[in-house]
Amino acid sequence: MSTPENTDDREQPKSKKPADTAFKQQRLPAWQPILTANTALPVFLIIGLTFIPIGIVLVVTSNRVLEYDIDYTDTKCININNNNNQTCADYLKDNPVPTTPCTCKINFTLTSDFDGDVYFYYGLINYYQNHRRYVKSRDDNQLLGKSGSAATDCEPFQKINGTDIAPCGAIANSLFNDTLTLVYSGQTVPLQNTSIAWSTDKNVKFQNPSDPDPYFRNHAKPPNWNKTAWQLDPTHEDNNGFENEDFIVWMRTAAMPTFRKLYRKLLTTSEPFTKGLPSGTYELTIVYQYPVINFAGRKQFIISTTSWMGGKNPFLGWAYIVVGIVCVIVFAVFFILHRFWKMYVLAY
């Protein structure tokens, strides 16, 4: 060959041999769980045997939690202001905007002491706080105390005659406004209406505007309200406006049409409530203002103690027990199957 070799300036290229690493050669160690009757049998047994005790513990814990609830939607709540034995529900139906609110008293008896922290809830049934239009109808920026007009999301509760509503939106407009008070042998049960909301909500999410009093006077109140936001809690100056805890609790919408919301906590500073609610007869006074009858809703008043798990929840415990039992049954079936199948196969 007569090609001038000296002009060939190509270098010996680097070898293209792939690197020999476990990852590149796909030799990473791997755990291959193979589910056969053999390997799965012990697993089922172990799970069954752990789940059943857990379930029992959970059920017991849940049963220790005392709960008492009263449905005061209609029959139990008779208007005490007039004497025609009318239920508050009917009264409210007849007078959608009553001059004097309907009040009723219900007596009930707690058969055992409610020890420890006692929580008071109001519960609503068939109430769609999770409706998309409803959930959307709020303005979180307004609730942060920021100036500026209410968001269009609040529609149809954005403005009244051109004035912004504060707080705007359907959620705020429909704030639960029954008043529930409890009397025990002539003594009003001391209830705490603060620190019932999430601390983050109270401290971060809900902020009053810098100059609250004129702010709320200059804005329209929601059409359903009979007072402005600044008048929600006359007893505590700083529990008003957007920072009112009842309001904050209401604003955290429930996921299901059946829900309960924390209403009050028992104040354990004075006798005889230092240890909790003593057993005995109580008188519940309800200022009945919240209409639910039209949509077949129900209202409840709930008293509950708490455990390390939280509130009463028998379902979880029973679910554990059921799943545990199923595991054990599966174990048994597999065990038998495994034995007999092998015999069958061998015989065959």
Judged by CB under 8 A, the chain residues 203 through 242 that form the site for other proteins are 204-205
Where are the extended beta strands (E) located within the chain? 67-71, 102-110, 114-115, 119-125, 159-160, 163-164, 179-184, 187-188, 191-192, 259-266, 276-277, 280-288, 298-304
Q: Is 45 in the site for other proteins (CB under 8 A)?
A: no
Q: Pick the binder of other proteins from 22, 30, 97, 346 (CB under 8 A).
A: 30
DSSP 316: H
Applying CB under 8 A, among 34, 97, 346, 347 the residue interacting with other proteins is 34
Which of 45, 56, 254, 328 is close enough to bind other proteins by CB under 8 A? 254
- The full DSSP string for 167-190 is S-SHHHHT----EEEEEETTEEPP
Q: Which of residues 316-345 bind other proteins (CB under 8 A)?
A: 316, 319-320, 323, 326-327, 330, 334, 337-338, 341
Residues 142-161 that bind other proteins (CB under 8 A): 143-144, 152, 155-161
Asked if 247 interacts with other proteins (CB under 8 A), we say no
Peptide linkage before 167 cis (omega within 30 of 0): yes
Kindly report the length of the chain.
348
State the distance between the two ends of the chain, measured CA to CA, in whole angstroms. Answer: 76
User: For other proteins, what does the binding mask look like between residues 158 and 197, x meaning CB under 8 A?
Assistant: xxxxx-------x--xx-----------------------
Min dist CB 223 to other proteins, Å, is: 8
| 78 vs 193 by CB, closer to other proteins | 193
* 3-state class (DSSP) for residue 91: helix
Whichever of 7 and 235 has its CB closer to other proteins, that residue is 7
Shorter beta-carbon distance to other proteins: residue 16 or 269: 16
Say how many residues touch other proteins, by CB under 8 A: 96
Considering only residues 257-286, where is the footprint of other proteins by CB under 8 A?
257-260, 262
- Distance (Å, rounded) from C-alpha 175 to C-alpha 263? 12
Whose Cβ is closer to other proteins: residue 41's or residue 183's?
A: 41
Among 72, 114, 120, 121, binds other proteins (CB under 8 A): 121
| 178 touches 299 (CB < 8 A) | yes
**Near other proteins by CB under 8 A, which window of 87-95, 97-105, 249-257, 273-281?**
249-257
Q: Under the criterion CB under 8 A, does residue 255 sit at the interface with other proteins?
A: yes
CA distance 103 to 113: 28
Cis peptide leading into 156, omega within 30 of 0?
Answer: yes
Residue 72 or 121 having the CB closest to other proteins: 121
Residues 59-118 that bind other proteins (CB under 8 A): none
Q: How many of the other CB atoms lie within 10 Å of CB of 44?
A: 20
- Stated as kind and residue range, the H or E segment containing 52 is helix 37-64
Touching other proteins, residues 9-28 (CB under 8 A): 10, 13, 15-20, 24-28
Nearest of 85, 74, 128, 69 to residue 288 by alpha carbon: 74
Shortest gap between Cβ of 234 and other proteins (angstroms)? Answer: 25
Peptide bond into 272 cis (omega under 30): yes
Taking the complex as a whole, the smallest distance from the CB of residue 119 to other proteins amounts, in Å, to 9
Beta bridge partners of 245: none
